[in-house]
């Protein structure tokens, strides 16, 4: 004999049997078959391990996507709560603005009536309702509005009083002018408060719009992440199915490898027994 091809689960090899006796040749063939099976087994195990790593990597990505999607959901929940609080705050600011408008309008009306009732002579007296027909009741009401507005009401010679005994409350021209000037400051302060409230409401409105844009973006991103998770789960299912087939092939190769080693071990034992028997007979 010359060359003998050896086939198995792995690469096909050839053994030069020309210089071997039968037992050595058979042992060489069986040994190479075992080595080929061992090589195939290692290759199959590497394939199984590689697929296991693919599955592990995909599971890690799925977990990361889930965490990120949950974080986006939590952020959206917080932004939604923030928007609800901001809308409530805007409502309060709008109510404040309406109240300030009412106060400003009232002070401007009082200022207008006082200006119309001011005596041209700083030391002269005019009724506080002079510009409205010098009505006695209205003059008393105007003085009360002056006090309610927190304006400075002088005492002594400059105090408002019924100078001409006609039942109206009268005040000096310079006192009334002082009230008009004070009202300018109070009206300006209220208008500043209103401007601040409106500015705060505008800022909150912009914040709400920004939050809503973020919520929309987060919702889209979370949807894409979950779609990616679904795709990766399908990949994991496919790899798991392939893994089952790999494990079956691995088990088959393991069985064949074990069988080959058993055959070779038995063959070696038989050769040893045969030699021992021949030597015994020769004695």
Report the domain count for the chain: 1
pLDDT band for position 84 (cuts 50, 70, 90): very high
Average pLDDT, the chain: 86
> Residue 178's domain is classified under what CATH number?
1.10.287
Q: What is the mean pLDDT of residues 109-125?
A: 95
Structure-model confidence comparison of residues 255 and 116, the more confident one: 116
How confident is the model over 210-248, as pLDDT tens digits? Answer: 999 999 999 999 999 999 999 999 999 988 887 777 777
User: What pLDDT, on the 0 to 100 scale, is given for residue 108?
Assistant: 97
How confident is the model over 7-43, as pLDDT tens digits? Answer: 444 443 455 545 555 566 666 666 776 677 677 777 7
User: What pLDDT, on the 0 to 100 scale, is given for residue 259?
Assistant: 74
The backbone region for 109, taken as left when phi is positive above 0, alpha when psi lies in -120 to 50, beta otherwise, is alpha
Q: Coil, strand, or helix at residue 122?
A: coil
Beta-carbon contacts of residue 236 (< 8 Å; ≥ 6 apart)? 55, 58, 59, 62
Helix boundaries (H) for the chain: 22-116, 136-148, 173-282
Alpha-carbon span 194 to 200, nearest angstrom:
10
**Does a structural domain hold residue 137?**
yes
Contact 52, 242 (CB under 8 A): no
Q: Coil, strand, or helix at residue 261?
A: helix
Domain encompassing residue 239: 46-216+225-248
How confident is the model over 137-194, as pLDDT tens digits? Answer: 999 999 999 999 999 999 999 999 999 899 999 999 999 999 999 999 999 999 999 9
**Does a structural domain hold residue 182?**
yes
Contact 142, 114 (CB under 8 A): yes
Alpha-carbon span 109 to 183, nearest angstrom:
10
Structure-model confidence comparison of residues 210 and 266, the more confident one: 210
User: What pLDDT, on the 0 to 100 scale, is given for residue 272?
Assistant: 72
Token pair 């709560």 is found at 81
**Does a structural domain hold residue 235?**
yes
**Does a structural domain hold residue 61?**
yes
Q: What is the mean pLDDT of residues 195-211?
A: 98
Q: Which two tokens stand for residue 57?
A: 């990597």
Structure-model confidence comparison of residues 113 and 50, the more confident one: 113
**Does a structural domain hold residue 157?**
yes
User: What pLDDT, on the 0 to 100 scale, is given for residue 16?
Assistant: 57
């Amino acid at each position: 004999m010359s060359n003998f091809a050896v086939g198995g689960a792995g690469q096909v090899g050839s053994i030069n049997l020309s210089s071997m006796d039968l037992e050595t040749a058979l042992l060489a063939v069986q040994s190479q078959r075992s080595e080929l099976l061992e090589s195939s087994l290692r290759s199959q195990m590497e394939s199984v391990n590689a697929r296991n790593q693919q599955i592990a990597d995909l599971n890690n990505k799925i977990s990361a996507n889930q965490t990120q999607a949950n974080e986006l959901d939590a952020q959206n929940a917080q932004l939604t709560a923030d928007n609800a609080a901001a809308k409530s705050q805007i409502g309060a600011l709008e109510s404040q603005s309406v109240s300030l408008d009412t106060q400003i309008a009232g002070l401007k009306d009082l200022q207008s009536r006082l200006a119309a009732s001011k005596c041209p002579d700083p030391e002269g007296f005019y009724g506080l309702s002079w510009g409205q027909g010098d009505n006695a009741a209205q003059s008393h009401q105007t003085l009360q509005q002056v006090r309610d507005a927190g304006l400075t009401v002088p005492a002594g010679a400059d105090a408002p009083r019924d100078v001409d005994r006609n039942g109206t409350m009268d005040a000096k021209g310079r006192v009334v002018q002082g009230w008009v000037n004070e009202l300018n400051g109070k009206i300006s302060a209220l208008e500043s408060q209103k401007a601040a409230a409106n500015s705060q409401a505008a800022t909150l409105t912009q914040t709400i719009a920004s939050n809503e844009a973020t919520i929309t973006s987060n919702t889209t991103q979370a949807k894409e992440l979950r779609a990616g998770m679904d795709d990766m789960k399908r990949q994991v299912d496919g790899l798991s199915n392939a893994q089952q087939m790999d494990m079956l092939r691995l088990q088959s190769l393991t069985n064949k490898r074990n069988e080959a080693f058993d055959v070779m071990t038995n063959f070696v034992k038989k050769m040893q027994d045969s030699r021992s028997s021949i030597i015994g007979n020769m004695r």
